[in-house]
Amino acid sequence: MDWIGFYDFKHSVIYVNARHRDVHYRTIAEDLRVHVPSPNARVLDYGCGEATSAALLADACGHLTMVEAAPNVRAALKARYEANPKISVMTPEEAAALPPASFDLIVMHSVAQYLSAAELDRLLGVFHRLVKPDGVVLIGDIVPPSFAAPAAAIALLRFGLANGFFWAAVGGLIRILVSDYFQLKKTHGLSHYEEAAMLDRLRTAGYAPERAAHNIGHNQRRMTFLARPVTAR
Ligand SMILES: C[S@@+](CC[C@H](N)C(=O)[O-])C[C@H]1O[C@@H](n2cnc3c(N)ncnc32)[C@H](O)[C@@H]1O
């Protein structure tokens, strides 16, 4: 199994219960709405996951394209949003084949840690082609190397305390300890970046990057970057 397979079948491990999942996705959608540049904006959410609040994000833009590599998750997204004319769901390959300059805002949140550095660089290239010259690429939830796991556990417990699922979060953390997560972490690894390393990476990929003041979502130890294309395609 790889990380895509893990996310295709193991949702109950990552989200401690349905309330956690829904509060998680609502928080992300509310945070992302702030970055939508105009009500007509065309937005791409790459690696969107279950995205149970995508309609909230779609309401704030002209069109939302949701890209998910995990086939079961993608099928569920298609079923959930087929009646929403502002939303389309596609595979990574379909998204990569879209015309240049298709999007005003491209989001990739909480995905980079599952990619090798080479895969991340390749995707930054794909996004560079797909984003409009005056658009923005938002890379969220970049995990710094030190204390990543304890910081994630504490952030989850605080999120649970604030949103009525504290004890479920405690149980969820215990379940994660005995799940495939740590085995996969050993075999496939997780990618971590310091702020300066991510800024360098984005510059090398042809962007003018900055770190956003607020990370998308509940874990403020992680980082969000806003990157504007500067070099020619
Ligand atoms: C933690 S979830 C993030 C979902 C959502 N963006 C969020 O913030 O909650 C990680 C996502 O990364 C996707 N993913 C993992 N490895 C990937 C890869 N190699 N290529 C594309 N997507 C990948 C998974 O399918 C999953 O949807």
Q: What is the pLDDT of residues 195-223, one digit of tens each?
A: 999 999 999 999 999 999 999 999 999 99
Residue of 79, 72, 85 lying closest to 10 (CA atoms): 72
One-letter amino acid at 57 equals L
In sequence order, what are the residues at sequence separation of 6 or more whose Cβ sits closer than 8 angstroms to the Cβ of residue 216? Answer: 28, 31, 32, 107, 109, 138, 140, 141, 224
Q: What is the pLDDT of residues 177-186, one digit of tens each?
A: 888 888 888 8
Q: From atom 19 of ligand 1, which residue's Cα is the shortest distance away?
A: 115
Do 23 and 89 meet the contact criterion of CB atoms below 8 Å apart?
no
**What is the 88 CA–ligand 1 centroid distance (Å)?**
17
Q: What is the pLDDT of residues 4-28, one digit of tens each?
A: 998 897 666 788 899 999 999 999 9
**Pocket test residue of 68, 111, 121, 176 for ligand 1, highest count of atoms within 8 A of CB:** 111
State the CATH number of the domain containing residue 99: 3.40.50.150
Q: Looking at the whole model, is its pTM more than 0.85?
A: yes
DSSP single-letter state for residue 83: T
Q: How many domains does the chain have?
A: 1
Instruction: Show the ligand 1 pocket: residues with CB < 6 angstroms.
Output: 3-4, 7, 28, 47-49, 68-70, 92, 109-111, 114-115, 119
Domain span holding position 219: 3-229
In this prediction, what percent of the chain has a pLDDT beyond 90? Answer: 83
Three-class secondary structure of residue 180 per DSSP: coil
